[in-house]
Amino acid sequence: MKQSEKDSRCTLRTPRVAQLIERLYEDVQANAAKKEEVFGGMSEKERAEFSSTSPDDYRKAYGRAKELYLAVAPQTAHLLYMQARSMNAHTIVEFGTSFGFSTIHLAAALRDNGGGQVIGTEFEPDKIEQAYANLREAGLEDLVDIREGDALETLARDLPGKVDLVLMDGHKPLYPKVLELLRPKLRQGACLIADNASSNEEYLNRVRAADGDFLSVPYEGDVEISIKL
């Protein structure tokens, strides 16, 4: 089989998408020092805003981090693609889009599954603009709707009846609330992938509860994978 035929079975491997992902990941790495600077230079009060459930606080916190290239690790991004492919997902919700690194992987899976939609959500309008520019460059913009605003509002309306897959990657203290919001929409067997999951014990207790409606296991890099029973 020719390489181009193999590529056509996996959008991630097409030169257009593969090169973009490589470049975006270089940007993430180049941003590491800036990240240290921003987080290291925060006062205790500013740090506390990152763990607050008050919208005023967490909006301020992410506003200060709005230029940081935050993204899931490459193996988590691959996991997202693989999971979406293996379950033939068509409806995906992403809590926390940033510049769209994870979104590209999710949308690539939808393309290879024959279509669908990623519903993303993000506070920062500049990040949304950049995420759309990245998705356009990947040729995947038509598969994504990024809703501007707080997920607790943007994901509380107009969601399709059956959600196949969720990426939790926004403000960590909100994971349990976002889970409650999405739970009625999750189809049986729906998958939740939560990054930095250990920062929210309440979320872990919820998805790991022995008598609950999820089955859940930890994965590498502080990621929790759960399915809806």
Ligand X SMILES: C[S@@+](CC[C@H](N)C(=O)[O-])C[C@H]1O[C@@H](n2cnc3c(N)ncnc32)[C@H](O)[C@@H]1O
Footprint of ligand X on this chain (CB under 6 A)?
A: 62, 70-72, 96-98, 100-102, 121-124, 127, 150-151, 169-171, 174
Nearer to ligand X, 135 or 190 (CB): 135
Which one, 171 or 228, has the nearer CB to ligand X? 171
- Taking the complex as a whole, the smallest distance from the CB of residue 7 to ligand X amounts, in Å, to 23
How far is 22 from 224, CA to CA, in rounded Å? Answer: 25
DSSP per-residue string spanning 78-114: HHHHHHHHHTT--EEEEE--TTSHHHHHHHHHHHHHT
d(CA 72, CA 77) in angstroms, rounded, equals: 6
Which residues, 6+ apart, have CB-to-CB distance to 162 below 8 Å? 91, 185, 186, 187, 190
Question: Residue 102's CB: how many other CB atoms inside 10 A?
Answer: 25
Select the residue whose beta carbon is closest to ligand X and give its number: 96
Shortest Å distance, C-beta 27 to ligand X = 11
Residue number, 74 or 213, with CB nearest to ligand X: 74
Query: Which residue shows structure tokens 């492919």?
Result: 85
Rounded to a whole number of angstroms, the minimum distance from the CB of residue 13 to ligand X is: 19
Q: Minimum Å distance from CB 121 to ligand X?
A: 5
Ramachandran angles phi, psi of 42, nearest 5° = -80, 145
Q: Which is nearer to ligand X, 100 or 116 (CB)?
A: 100
- Both tokens assigned to 65: 């981090």
Which residue number, 93 or 190, has a Cβ lying nearer to ligand X? 93
| Min separation Cβ 4 and ligand X, Å | 28
Q: Which is nearer to ligand X, 165 or 188 (CB)?
A: 165
**Shortest gap between Cβ of 6 and ligand X (angstroms)?**
26
**Distance set, CA 82 to CA 78, 96, 181, 225, 229 (Å):** 6, 20, 25, 13, 20
